[in-house]
Structure 1
Amino acid sequence: MASAPPLRIWLYGALAVAGAIALIALPRWSSGHKPDYAIADHTRQFLDAPSTDGKLRVLGLGSSLLWAATPPALAQVAPPGIDWMRMTKPGTGMGYLKPSLDIIDRHPPDILVIDENLLLPDQDNVIMDELRQDFILASKGLAYQLTGNARLAPPQAYVALLDQREPFECATIPAHTRRREILKNAANLQRVFNDSAVNRQLTDRLQRLAQRGVRIVLLELRRSELVEQTTATEKQRWLSRLQQALPPGRHIRYLSSPIYVQQNLHCDGSHLNAAGARLFTPWWQAQLQQLRDER
């Protein structure tokens, strides 16, 4: 029977893992690498660029639901008279999109689209998700250096900007566990909607922008029919609280996306897959066109 490794081996291993995590995390919070401001700079470039032919400038901020629904190619087929860009992040809450609000305050777009998921609290696991992304990128970079395999080359731009040039990648859920996982996700959403307070700091900022003449669109990105039915009561209560904090009016509009009854249009019951995005695109283009016509 093989003997267990000495205790010091476990200790050295734990220290090595901790050191690797620290090396990966350090650039994220160091003064020389500011992911928050990478996003804000991208927002600034869009808002600072001279308007061409009097186009309406529409900026969207959202969760990964907006990323999945609006693939990068949509920016190339926006309706005439519209300049459209969106920035997204994983999970609920503003997270690293928050510094973009300061840019928006100084250089407001004509229309600001806010995915309603951003008005929910930030998820506790967002930092770990970001660290996991960094670890994967660092691992790919090391493998690329060792093997020279071009397929392992990591992207050169900051990972949070990937949503601007890459389509959303659907999670793979085995068919025999799909319904169970979707219902598990729906149960978690029920708790989120039931327990979450509205982000009043954000609603107050949006209210001030509306008072300055910026049109605010609060976009509800609906999930699959099964998830929407399961979460309907809790979600409606939360939406009622949101509308009390940020009442609809001349410059504040609430907009809900369609619920698609077709099967297999969502990766996981929440995010649209490529087929779902193809159905969403003409609907969203029509909404942008209507916003332009209402100017």
Structure 2
Amino acid sequence: MSPPPSSIAASATARRVISVEADALARLAAELPEAFDAAVAAILAAQGRVIVSGIGKSGHVGHKIAATLASTGTPALFVHPSEASHGDLGMIAQGDVCLLLSNSGETAELRDTLAYVRRFSIPLVAISSRADSTLMGAADHALLLPDAPEACAIGMAPTTSTTMAMALGDALAVALMEARGFRAEDFRMFHPGGKLGAQLARVDQLMHGAAAVPAVAPDAPMSETLLAMTSGGFGIAAVLDTDRRVSGVITDGDLRRSMDGLMSRTAGEVATPDPVTVAPDMLAAEALALMNARKITVLLVADAARHPLGVLHIHDLLRAGVA
């Protein structure tokens, strides 16, 4: 075993590897495979799923591509080529599209899958670095990677080639996502857990309903208004006009600014007019950003006519894991 490299040498290696792979990605963008658009169209037209397969490092990349496709609106499944040869070919059906990955295009383990999809005329998309390979010759849509050197010192370990394959898989997924009109709401449906799911929640999923909104009329005395604020527990009171539309809001800050003669005033005289309201379909993350920008902790939720629909407190966002 050679002695471990110094930190300076290791850093130099890291920069070289990243530069080599970055250059390869730039080439991939500039030399995007001609069949890319046709491959996207074929997947969009498919009634079934995208069946992804590959072995070794290509298999690991294939797992990631299948997961990215599935989470962005394109049903996908990874099938291990060795298992495919022992029964899992039954997972591939008419209406599917097959995406096979092999840097050399001659991977022996893919032969049974390749023969199967050709026998049953299942559309085949291939990703490889060799245009004259068996896989690329058999493909309906051949996505050729640029001839770029691997980033390892001996030029053999899959590094640059797997980075390009993964980037091309991401490009397919995003192109399909945009073609399908996939929205943040759809994304949340597939990602309900964790921080990401919380940030993609909508205001109406976290807010307290209309019955919880502390509301008073503009001519309500402040004694009544204080009771409404206290009973509501949000530190605010919404001022509603005769059409039950939000015309103002009273916060703790409004009370402090109006301490002189407070109890002789009405709610309409103390309230901040035309307060900020949010729509129920706003993303919770956007509501949090608005709270931070305005330095407030509560938002009234209203419809387009400013009728109150609910109230959202920053504590609701904290409990949901948005903040």
TM-score range, shorter chain: under 0.3
Greater RCO (CA < 8 Å, at least 6 residues apart): 1
Which has the larger Rg?
2
The two structures have a TM-score, normalised by structure 2, of 0.20
Structure with higher helix content = 1
Please report the TM-score for the alignment, with normalisation by the length of structure 1: 0.22
Question: Relative to total residues, which structure has the larger strand share, 1 or 2?
Answer: 2
